[in-house]
Structures are given as structure tokens and as C-alpha cells.
Amino acid sequence: MSLGLEAAGFDPVALIELNSDAAASLRANRRDWNVIKQDMKQVDYAPHRDRIHLLAGGLPCQPYSRAGKALGKDDERDLFPAATEIVNAVRPKAFMFENVDGFNDAKHADHRAEVFARFAEAGYAVRTISVNAKDYGIAQERPRIFVIGMSPENMARFRPPPTFEEWRATVGHALEDMMGAGGWSGASRWAERRRTQVIVRDNKEEIGGLASTLLGEKRRGREKEIGRWGLREIIIGGTWDAPPTDAMAAAAGDDFMPGLTMPMKARLMGLPDGYVVIGNKESQSQQIGNAVVPRVAQAVGLAIYSALLGVDFDWEVVLRHPRLPYERETVDRIEIDAPSLAYDGRCLERHAPFRLRFSDVRKSTIDQALRRTSSRLLLETAHRTENPWSVRRPRDQRVGGAAGICP
């Protein structure tokens, strides 16, 4: 989530994470981020009161997951009540909390009403939007909801991010190069089958080569999950140490199906290639499966940014870097200095998307940045010459802070 919100123009002020491995992963990838390993309910939020533009978090999904008992408010892992208390303590200009779409089920209506009433008492207008990663070029069926709050005036300007069905990709697009990295000669044929696979759902034809939702937890009775992945000719029973080889395929015969390595799982979540995930296999899989897809977080973050500042911009340009996250030939790969932890927004003069003219950056400038920066965020954009932001903000209007509850 934090990568996506930073790409949307927010400067991470504090990232609160209880899990040791997840906190270590955040630090390993961005050493300048202020990562706090602590229970979010135990943090002293007083120093941040009235100084944060966006409070964001991915709350535990188990209380609302249709694959489990979905106990909602009766599940001790439900953190929505705690979220209302934190919002009250911080008083951000806006907040967003991500969860599974089961949160919107009728059985949780009373609990939703109670949570939203608490937000309203604090002065926030609240709405829930549904977003699916597949509509942003991510090769995964991953429906999620975001509970969003801000002042009634700003909420009147809020519009959900547009979707881009034409960007939809398949696991064949996403993983062909990785599947063939070990020398498996069948990788191209496997990828082509995924690209052309069609399924019928509710009497409607859809691309069938999307990955099933990556899960962040072990579950009993995984037959349905294994079956869904089997339709994509992928074994999901464990994480492979290396890509498939011809020797593996020959040993398995006609029934051979490749498995996913950890880098493959990360790519299916839209994480940058080379993103470091700390811990053993189980921990790494849990972190990847529990993450918020960065591009989805970016899209929702941009919608909030637009509402807070009352500005419009070209969505296709600001989100298209590139159209598919694994097509490189039309992409400038540019690394920039990581932003500071300043609260006042001055860092955005250097780092917000509307300040960067990627097509004007020369190779010498990129080389200097590579030599200068030890902790970097990789930004990618299609070759476009126009400025994606239609309005230039005065300096005192730029968004300067985002506190993330978890990645």
C-alpha cells in the first residue's frame, strides 16, 4: 500500500507494522521510511494530530472473508473499531481502510452502520468503493473494498478511480519470462494458452487466464483453491525454489504443471521485480498475499488526492507506467531520490508525479541518480511528453503526509 500511495504523491510519515518480518521487509526496501514495529492500538498518535493528510491501512480480512467463518464484529481480529479510535486521535484530512469485499455483505450491515456512525461523529463523510486489481493491468482476480472518509465538502468532490478493462492481462503475459528463466521450453506454449483461455461466468465470456486471488494465510480444505489454480495450469500447493526446467517437465510427463516461485507471486501482486521480502517461505507468502496491490493503492490514493485538492488529471497517464507492469520496451526506467519524512509537504516539490517530466530526463541524469541514491523507489512510465497533471497547485496546497497502518 505504501508504495502505491507514495506514487500517488503522498509522503509516508509513519508505517506501523506489528509483524517482525513485514516490518523488516519495509525497512529492507526503503531504509528512509519511518517503520514502527508496534501494535497499532498501542501507538501514541498525539504528535500526528491534525498534521496528516491521509491515514491509510489494510485491516485484517479474516473477520469478513467468505472463505472462513466471517464472524465480523465477533471476531477478535476485527480492527474497524480500533480504526475509528485512531482516526479520532489523529484527525487526518482523509482516511482509507482496505478489506475484502465480504465486508459489504448484508450480515455485517449493523456493524458497518455502527462503524460509520463513529466516523460521522468525528465529522467525516464516509463511503465504500469496490476495486479489482484486474482493472489496472494486474493479472489477478482480486476484488477489494476501501472505506474512505473525509470532510463532507471534500467528499462531494470525491470520485472513485476509473477502471481500464483494456489493460487487463493474464498470467501468460505476466509470467512467461519467469517461467522460461530456468530453461523450460514449454513456457511460451503455456503462456499462450493462458493468454487465449476463455471462461464463461454468469453467461458472459471473460479472460480466463487471470490468476486466482493470492491468499495470505493457510486454510484447511483448499480443494477449491487448488482447483481454481489448476485451471490456469499452475500448482499452488507450495512455493517453488526455482523456475521449471525441461527435466522437471519430462519427469512429470503430460501432467506437468509449473508452480510459482516467490518472485512470481510478488509480480502477480504488482510488486516491483527485485522487491525484497524477509522471512521463511510461509512468512514471505503471507506478506505477499496480505499486501495491497500497489497500483490499486495508487489509484485510490490519486482519487483522494484529487478530492482533497479539487484538481483533475489524466488518469491514463498517471497510472500507465507502463500499461502492463512487465512490458519494458516502451518504458523509461527512472530512479529518484527517496522523499524525506518531512510533515510540511516540501518534499513533494521534488517527488510528486506532477513535478516529473520523464521524457525530458537524460541518461546522464539517470546515471547520476543511480550513483547517488542508495535507497530508491523504481518509477516507470510510458513515453509521453505531456504533463499528466492538468492543474499546477500552489506550494501551500501540496499534500505532504501519509501515515500507513500496514503495507
Q: Prior bond to 12 cis, omega within 30?
A: no
Residue with cell 516529473: 356
Closest of 95, 66, 62 to residue 78, by C-alpha:
62
Distance, CA of 91 to CA of 77 (rounded, Å)? 24
Which H/E stretch holds residue 22? helix 20-29
8 Å CB contact between 125 and 71: no
Q: Tell me, what DSSP letter sits at residue 217?
A: S
Q: For the stretch 117-134, what's the b/e string if a residue is b when 16 or more beta carbons lie within 10 angstroms of its beta carbon?
A: ebbeeeebbbeebebbbb
Distance, CA of 286 to CA of 267 (rounded, Å)? 15
Residue with cell 464472524: 71
Distance, CA of 342 to CA of 70 (rounded, Å)? 40
Whole-number Cα distances in Å, 320 to 7, 137, 270, 348, 373: 12, 9, 13, 20, 25
Q: For the stretch 193-204, what's the b/e string if a residue is b when 16 or more beta carbons lie within 10 angstroms of its beta carbon?
A: bbeebeeeeeee
Distance, CA of 163 to CA of 176 (rounded, Å)? 25
Helices (H), 132-233: 152-155, 171-179, 187-196, 223-230
Which H/E stretch holds residue 282? helix 281-290
347 is catalytic: no
Catalytic entry in 61, 138, 271, 405: 61
Point out the residues that are catalytic.
Answer: 61
